[in-house]
Amino acid sequence: MAKEKGGFWVGLAAAIFHPATRLLGRRRHAGLEHIPTNGPALVVSNHVSYLDPVYTAVFVHKRGRIPRFLAKDALWKVPVLKRILVAAEQIPVRRGSAEAQQSLAAAYRGLDAGHVVVIYPEGTITRDPEWWPMHARTGVARIALERDVPVIPVVHWGTHQVYDHYNKKLRLRPRRDIVVRAGEPIDLSAFRGKDIDSALLREVTDLLMTRVRDLLGEVRGEQPPGEFHQPAKRARRGETR
């Protein structure tokens, strides 16, 4: 299996992240075969901890791929991390600005170049009290509809038990299982060729996140809720993106 070449900074990140994901917990990977070994793909994931991107990166890298994340632009303000992000062609997301469309354009360029692009459609760590995926922004649907590439659901579970950002808790003991699982590509053929409007974007976004939620339910061995948690701030704004 040929691997993408990422240069010094990507190699350094891999040298740190691979052993780190083993040290933080008992790493459990499943469904790796759903990540294509070549060609473009859009990975759609839930978000329960700031550790998630590290585990997603290692998961995708194990298939010989270098993931391109859509990530908060604040990360580019961290000096050493910025060098890695730039070298690995990561995609800063600047919400609420005229530059927001540049993030989508960069995602399109990544897919057009045959890369794996990773997005957390919730935009931040879930606020659902039971850690299920919450109401997501519709940018993911626009990317998925604008580019006919495999859309792969990926879920994390257990990272939040190691690092819970909202409660500022880091727990390294006892060691916990940290699961990363990919599901089968999501079929969007019924939506392709349609006029892309707000209703279609919301429908496709909810479909994608339902698949993610159902996959998480399998990992947790639980029945997921029938609706997505709506954060109070977004509900007041009527926010969908």
- Which of 41-45, 66-70, 88-92, 122-126 is least confident? 88-92
Query: Quick check: 157 pLDDT over 50?
Result: yes
Q: What is the CATH topology of the domain spanning 28-223?
A: Glycerol-3-phosphate (1)-acyltransferase (3.40.1130)
| Beta-strand pair 151-157/177-182 | antiparallel
CB atoms within 10 A of CB 203: 15
Q: How far is CA 177 from the centre of its chain?
A: 19
Q: What is the DSSP secondary-structure string of 143-176?
A: HHHHS---EEEEEEESHHHHEETTTTEE--SS--
Which pLDDT tens digit goes with each residue over 207-220? Answer: 999 999 999 999 99
Please tell me the predicted confidence (pLDDT) of residue 137: 93
The mean pLDDT value for 126-143 works out to 96
Q: Which run of H or E residues covers position 219? A: helix 198-220
- Output the pTM of the full model: 0.91
Query: What is the arithmetic mean of pLDDT over 80-109?
Result: 78
Q: Where are the domains of the chain?
A: 28-223
Q: In DSSP terms, which residues pair with 44 in a beta bridge? A: 119, 153
pLDDT at 240: 44
- Would you state the pLDDT for residue 239? 47
Output the pLDDT for position 18.
96
Residue 234 pLDDT grade (very low, low, confident, very high; cuts 50, 70, 90): low
